[in-house]
Structure 1
Amino acid sequence: MPGAVDTTERPVEIAIVGGGIIGLILGLGLIKRGIKVTIYEQARSLREIGAGVAFTANAVRCMGLIEPGIVKALREVATANGDADDPNDWLQWVDGFNQHFENPNEEKLLYKLYAGYRGFEGCHRAQFLDALVKIVPEAVVQFRKRLDTYTQSEEDDQVTLKFTDGTTATADALIGCDGIKSRVRQILLGEDNPASFPTYTHKFAFRGLIPMERAIAVLGDYKARNQHMHIGPKAHVLHFPVAGQTLMNFVAFVSDPQEWSHEATMVAPAKREEVEETFKSWGPTVRKITSLLPDELDKWAIFDSFDNPAPYYNQGLICLAGDAAHASAPHHGAGAGIGIEDALCLATLFEKAVQAIETRKTTKRKAISLVFDTFNSVRKERSQWLVDSSRGICDVYEWQNPECGDDAEKCFKEIEWRSHKIWNFDIDGMLQETQEGYDKRIIG
């Protein structure tokens, strides 16, 4: 083609929009596989808002397959349940609502599940991000780069990114890891497409951090230092240790029949009195926990992509990953883990693509577009299932599932199979499907 630029000899260059946990992990995985990466972050510095995040054993294994340094970074800041030298790998659900008069200060243990060795490691999001930043090569991340739009050029087989500050950049492909409000998704699917935007789930969450010594004084050592889910009607409370057992992460999910009124932000200020009022009819343990909260805290609107899921994750040299593709409610605690699975899939595919390009089995443009086609095929069903199941499991926790109600045995069966589908995911099977799927597309 006249005027076309031969890009075959250049190394593969990938632009990632979004410098959160998934964007950094994906970037590290691509760099390890010899790919040039630039991460464009709209903020002035890398930071993750939020409180605690937890990872299952399977998610940690994915991290190790992407780049072993990621696991080392996690372990620098992760906190296990109970004794750090003898972790408690069981997750527990208790009746937080009903007072059991034989011992009114204790909650009834409804069910517990073994999550695997070191199967529940919690950390503060910002601390994990800080640990990841230390292993990202210098100059990979560019700050104050808010994406305005992008164009795909067939003449030179590249993507041009245009930022709101008037600057531009080019790359062989663009991956949107820019979260639930993804600008890349809006451009990819169309700004008049409902699937370009998340919707309110009619749940919000009070979130806060409680000093561990205060939690122990009120709850006792075991309950404070170990994950517990307190379930009840139309709400549920979760807590687990973070920051080396120095803090207890608190989150209380509440049903909200109204629309979210803070249109400009998903986070709004709240007061401890609001939480106490919400749970005033609950059992004494939950009421004790709410009394430990600071006077001022946050409440977070829970948005997701359930109502209008993305019909596809890719188009040409553009792809979505993590929350940008499949934002889910946090009730499974698996959104970040599923995003890490995405990153492993993409890193594996780009390794195959580089080989195909170097051996001249195909052009760079086709090799990359087949990466994204294969990714969409491999990851869409599971990631969309998580979006659906995260809504469904919340109904179980809050006794609003019409088939389960507050029947402990029926609720446990739902929790068990859904949790195991996440925790026991066949990573090796995914990698085999990924590699075979790419090979078939190259040959085809």
Structure 2
Amino acid sequence: MTSSPIRVAITGGGLAGASLVHALLAHSHLDVHIFESSPAFKEAGMAIGVARNALDALDLMGPSASQCLQQAGAVSMRGVRFMLAQGEGAGSMIDEAHDNDGQRVVHIVHRAAFLRELLANVPPERMHASKRLDHYVETSHNGVDGFLTIHFTDGTTHECDILIGADGIHSTVRRLLLGEDSPSAFPRNTGAWGIITMRPFAEAQSSIGKDYINKEDAREYSWVGNGTYFMHNVLSEGEMVQMILASHDKNAESPDDWQRTVSADDLKKLYQDWPPHLYKAVNEVRN
């Protein structure tokens, strides 16, 4: 007797959903489909750090997942250095997580490139764009409960045995599962904000210096100041450098505000006492 495959529906076509569908497709007893609310499967962010635990998880998925990371141009950091940017001892290293113990620290990869590789071998008939989840209904089959019919806002439906929400911080699955009255169903803005930009390697090295931007000794740097933060790392096979500026605005703590405009004057004030080479890099970000 041949049993029916387990039907798995994944909502959310970002890196989480793409990683999951990539891993599950290797198992023939699973009928896996992935649904994305946008018209296309794409990533809006820049780069991410895939750290030790995540690298181990990719290994558990099988060699193809780790190969996707490399094919996407990921750069392995030899260490992550935490640096003091202001006050006494500015420019000194606070601590470092490094690979001297033989363990991988973190790989930096562009989101869009990694997503493309993870989805490259997914059959087109398993990928469904423009499918925004509206609700699901529990059903039964031959007297057995636990089956689901998921309904999309375009009026279509899909039947499955397992529904997995990989639909991000504003997850519809989380809201439907926990209920409209649950505070855990709705995220809250903590007031932290960040500006992310990419620079060609040569330009970034010219601003920050060869001591900190080095293809042959690639490391991530996290500079910590008084209420300010600046991180940079190397990606895209060493061709690009990602820079992240961040701070916190207590007045922006709200469940509704998810975007903030930061002016050039704001950045100038926040980073004015930073070391010259870092302040120069900040100026280039705001320009």
Q: Shared fold by TM > 0.5?
A: yes
Describe the shift of the 1:222–1:136 C-alpha distance in structure 2 as closer, same or farther (beyond 3 A): farther
Q: Which has the higher helix share?
A: 1
Structure 1 unpaired stretches of 5+: 1-7, 82-87, 101-105, 296-444
Contact 2:189 2:256 in 1 (8 A): no
SS at match of 1:55: strand
CA distance 1:269–1:256, change in 2 (3 Å): closer
2:83 partner amino acid: V
2:49 to 34, 54, 64: 54
- Alignment of 1:144 with 2:133, yes or no, is no
Q: Which residue of 2 aligns with 1:190?
A: 179
AA aligned to 1:221 is K
Task: Assess if the C-alpha contact under 8 Å between 1:148 and 1:164 holds in 2.
Answer: yes
> Are positions 1:11 and 2:19 aligned together?
no
Q: 1:188 to 1:261 in 2, by over 3 A?
A: closer
Q: Aligned match of 2:105 in 107, 112, 119?
A: 119
In the alignment, what sits opposite 1:172? 161
Structure 2 CA distance for partners of 1:228 and 1:277, relative to 1, 3 Å = same
Partner of 1:93: 82
Partner in structure 2 of residue 31 of structure 1:
25
Q: Give TM-score, length-normalised by structure 1.
A: 0.58
What is the CA RMSD across the aligned residues, in angstroms? 2.2
| Percent of aligned positions that are identical | 26
What are the equivalent positions in structure 2 for 1:154-303 lying under 5 Å apart?
154-155=140-141, 157-225=146-214, 226-259=219-252, 263=256, 266-268=258-260, 270-293=262-285, 295=287
Evaluate the alpha carbon distance shift between residue 9 and residue 59 of structure 1 in structure 2; reply closer, same or farther with a 3 A threshold. same
Q: Across the two proteins, how many residue pairs are aligned to each other? A: 276
Is contact 1:64-1:71 (8 Å) kept? yes
**1:328-352, CA deviations, whole angstroms, 9 ceiling, x for partnerless residues?**
xxxxxxxxxxxxxxxxxxxxxxxxx
Q: Is the 8 A contact 2:83 2:92 kept in 1?
A: yes
Q: CA deviation at 1:262?
A: 9.7
* Letter paired with 1:18: G
In the TM superposition, residue 99 of structure 1 has moved relative to its aligned partner by: 6.6
**One-letter code of the match for 1:14?**
V
Q: Distance in 1 between matches of 2:260 and 2:121?
A: 33
Where does the alignment leave 5 or more consecutive residues of structure 2 unmatched? none
SS for the counterpart of 1:54 is strand
Which range moves more in the overlay, 137-146 or 283-292? 283-292
Query: Aligned-pair distance for 1:263?
Result: 3.6
State whether structure 2 residue 93 is matched by structure 1 residue 109: yes
Question: What is the rounded CA distance, in whole Å, between the counterparts of 1:72 and 1:23 in structure 2?
Answer: 18
Greater per-residue strand proportion = 2
Deviation sequence 1:297-320 (CA, Å, 0-9, x none): xxxxxxxxxxxxxxxxxxxxxxxx
CA contact 1:99–1:107 (8 Å) conserved in 2: no
Q: Which amino acid aligns with 1:290?
A: V
Name the SS for the 1:13 alignment partner.
strand
CA contact (8 A) 2:188 2:255 kept: no
In structure 2, how many angstroms separate the alpha carbons of the residues matched to 1:268 and 1:243? 28
SS at 2:170 equivalent: coil
| Structure 2 length-normalised TM | 0.88
When structure 1 is superposed on structure 2, of 25-34 and 166-175 the one drifting more is 25-34
